[in-house]
Amino acid sequence: MQLEVVARKENPLLKRTEIRFKAIHKAEPTPTRDALRAFLAKELKATKDIVLIDSQASTFGRYETHGYAKVYKSKEEALAVERKHILVRNKLIEPEVKEKKEAAPKPEKAAPAAKAEKAEKPAPAPKPEAAKPEPKAEGKPEAKAEKAPPKEEKKAASKEEKKPAEKKEEKKDEKKEEKKAEPKKKGGR
């Protein structure tokens, strides 16, 4: 692996040197962050614990990796200035493990209880059909006279009472009569 330092900038306020680099790795896989840190430390004559790789990206179809690294004066400076996730990626600190709280009730258990309460409530009885509205004088039929009941009510009604085929035939006949009663438009289509 070859390493080229593309740009080098001193940052005295943060007590670090910022480096843009290009690593060429022919016939090798993309180098890991840890391998790049070790190689940069060797090239820059520094220890591995003060070199941090901020970002690295391989170029598709080429054996090149471009990156941005920071070399601090000391490890304490790096820990004081650098963001936590970058420190974790470079293995200078251990990742924080969140502890599970056992005392808090889980919301999953509350949801089935709410569903059980809804199931206990009796489904409202289907409304008897009111007298059919008369067709409008304009000739446009109404889109829908009633809104369809919610899905739960449909299921409950179908379980309790199944409609016989006779009622379905009566409804079809009524719809045909309504269509015949509508005045037809003259002219046009």
Q: Right CATH number for 2-89 from 1.10.357.10, 3.30.70.330, 3.90.550.10, 3.30.413.10?
A: 3.30.70.330
For 86-134, write each residue's pLDDT tens digit: 999 999 999 888 887 665 555 565 555 555 555 566 566 666 565 555 5
User: Rounded to an integer, what distance in angstroms lies between the CA atom of residue 88 and that of residue 91?
Assistant: 5
Q: What is the pLDDT of residues 32-50, one digit of tens each?
A: 999 999 999 999 999 999 9
Give the residue with greater pLDDT, 82 vs 116: 82
Question: What confidence tens digit (pLDDT) does each residue in 5-37 have?
Answer: 999 999 999 999 999 999 999 989 999 999 999
Question: What pLDDT, on a 0 to 100 scale, did the predictor assign at position 23?
Answer: 94
pLDDT the model gives residue 123: 61
Give the whole-angstrom CA distance, residue 118 versus residue 123.
9
- Among residues 11, 18, 1, 94, the alpha carbon closest in space to that of 54 is found at 18
For 154-177, the DSSP string reads HHHHHHH-PPPHHHHHHHHHHHHH
Query: According to the model, what pLDDT value does residue 120 have?
Result: 60
User: How high does pLDDT run on average in the chain?
Assistant: 78
Of 102 and 56, the one with more pLDDT: 56
The confidence band for 148, taking pLDDT boundaries of 50, 70 and 90, is low
Choose among 58, 85, 88, 87: nearest CA to 70: 87
Q: Which helix (H) or strand (E) holds 17?
A: strand 16-24
Contact 53, 34 (CB under 8 A): no
Residue predicted with more confidence, 173 or 66:
66
- State the pLDDT at residue 180: 74
Residue 160 structure tokens: 């309790």
Domain map of the chain by residue range? 2-89, 134-183
| Residues facing residue 57 across a β-bridge | 66
